[in-house]
A and B are shown apart, each in its own frame.
Chain A
Amino acid sequence: MTQTKIAIDKLNLWFGDNHVLKDVTFGIPPNAVTAIMGPSGCGKSTLLRTINRMNDLILGTRVTGDIVIDGESIFADSTDVIDLRKRVGMVFQKPNPFPKSIYENIAFGPRIHKMGGRADIQQRVERALRAANLWDEVKDRLHDNAFSLSGGQQQRLCTARCLSVEPEILLLDEPASALDPNSTARLEELIRQLKKDYTVVIVTHNMQQAARASDWCAFLMLGEIVEFDRTGRIFTKPRDQRTEDFLSGRFG
């Protein structure tokens, strides 16, 4: 096994009495795309949202086990959840631009984190939009409402919004599920580019997408990790019968 950026160790999670994640253990390598795939309702999104502690917001959530990023537990008392979420950016399933201008959408993060003055923020906005392959399409209309963008552009805008605060890790929660094939292709291309600078974790129920876009792949079923391996290996030589069944389209 190579280096590990995010080590997930015997993670269990309950919503009330509902045991959603069961003894999840695997390590997510840095500067690679790791896909978490599995049938609907298997806990993929929940697992993803545990990594930046977005599940804290849901009442009745209980967690045991640990997630360690760069040697530090995200559940430790000394961990500042605000700082954690700045380091671990998230793109949601449905594009969720703020009803502000394109520029203001990106400038929001750097501003609340006081990352410099006007000129700095302007630079950050441009850099983030370029990194998300959106700059050329929007550079002449930065002050238009973000809702005037197409769905695919909105999703890249949300990605740029994450990048603007310079995270180390990017969590993508089925980012292409609301997009047409063309926009999906562009987003996947973006994801492949981003792994140079970021550790990317993507949740998908679409196995072709996992095959195309990821280097590592975790197969999650009923809250348990069935298999975790290099994507190439999982798709050609799955070790577990359930993985094979899923990949051959027998369920899911």
Chain B
Amino acid sequence: MTGRPPAPGRKLRRVRFASNAGFWLLAIPLALFIAFIVYLSGYLFRNGVSVLSWTFLTQAPAEGMTAGGIWPCIVGTVLVTFVSLVFSVPIGVFSAIYLAEYAPNNLLTRAIRSSVRSLAGVPSIVYGLFGVALFVSAMKLGLSILASGLTLGLMNLPWIIATAEEAISAIPGSFREGALALGATKWEAIRHNVLPYAFPGILTGILLALARTLGETAPILFTGVTYYTKQLPTSLSSKFMALPYHLFTLATQHDRILEVRPLAFGTAIVLLVFVLLFDAVAFVFRLRSAGSNKWQV
């Protein structure tokens, strides 16, 4: 006897419905989120693309910031980010190595570890105020690239420590044990058999911190960024312009706000491209590290 297979029973229909419902429940929010990102990028691009040009990237603002470009802001942002990393990367990575490999597992270590995690959640404006008190006033660095960079570095530090420690702890104990059993010293075991494999994870953390640093306004607001300066910074004690603050100025503080709106959008695009660029680099490293983590099967 041939014919159609029997129709699914009630129970089976119900199971299928639940399964489909689950799929859509998860897929719809994701689709909405992607649509939002696409809309945002499109919106920025449509409004800002008219000002994007070589001149925009390489010239200083002109005619009361209604013309010209954002070169000083790019220079300022790059410098201040560089200072922050020079400060936070060595301290952060060494602290992470200490916490992961050397610190005794006691109450103090656990307290330090959880305060690092909490510090990573402190609002950036608080770091800004702290930077004023410590670097600008107490250490007499004045309003400067150095003070701003150090403030941003402080803000980065807990992020870098937390991600680096996680990357180091993820390396299997057998790599250390195998080296120690061969008569390696503890440092040799860490140096040759832990850090090389933790490196991609550590670097990912640094790049994500860097991407965040590029866009932060609050920590530099009181510590050295300036509304407008004709000259490029001449030393680390100069004041500077920065992309996120320039964007804030153009968007809310300018007296001809509508006229400069395209410049604001252009600045936003440049900032976003910077951040995306570093996120992309982080992404590539993550992929590569996932590929080489053959031991994590």
Query: Footprint of B on A, CB under 8 Å?
Result: 52, 54, 57, 59, 82-86, 89-90, 92, 94, 96-99, 108-109, 112-113, 145, 147, 158, 161-162, 165
Contact = CB atoms under 8 A, between A and B. Distances in A.
A82 B183 contact: yes
Nearest to B296: A99
B184 interface: yes
Contacts of B292: 99
Nearest to B171: A99
Given A98-B193, A99-B292, A99-B294, A92 B182 contact: no
Nearest to B191: A112
Contact of A92 (B174, B183, B184, B193): B174
Contacts of B104: 59
A19 B295 CA distance: 34
B179 interface: yes
Interface string B177-204: 1111111110010001100010000000
B33 interface: no
A224 to B, nearest CB: 26
Interface of B: 104-105, 172, 174-175, 177-185, 188, 192-193, 197, 292, 294-295
A103 to B, nearest CB: 15
Contact of B178 (A59, A86, A161): A161
A158 B182 CA distance: 10
B4 to A, nearest CB: 50
A84 B172 CA distance: 24
B174 A108 contact: no
A228 B177 CA distance: 29
Contact of B175 (A59, A96, A112, A145): A96
B190 to A, nearest CB: 12
A98 B175 contact: yes
Contact of B181 (A90, A145, A147): A90
Nearest first, the 9 closest Cβ-Cβ pairs linking A and B are A86-B183, A96-B174, A85-B183, A90-B181, A109-B182, A147-B294, A96-B178, A82-B183, A112-B184
B294 A108 contact: no
A43 to B, nearest CB: 19
A147 B182 CA distance: 19
Nearest to A80: B183
Contacts of B105: 59
Contacts of A113: 183
Contacts of A86: 182-183
Nearest to B175: A98
B108 to A, nearest CB: 15
Contacts of A162: 181-182
A147 B174 CA distance: 14
A83 B180 CA distance: 11
Given A82-B183, A85-B183, A113-B183, A92 B295 contact: no
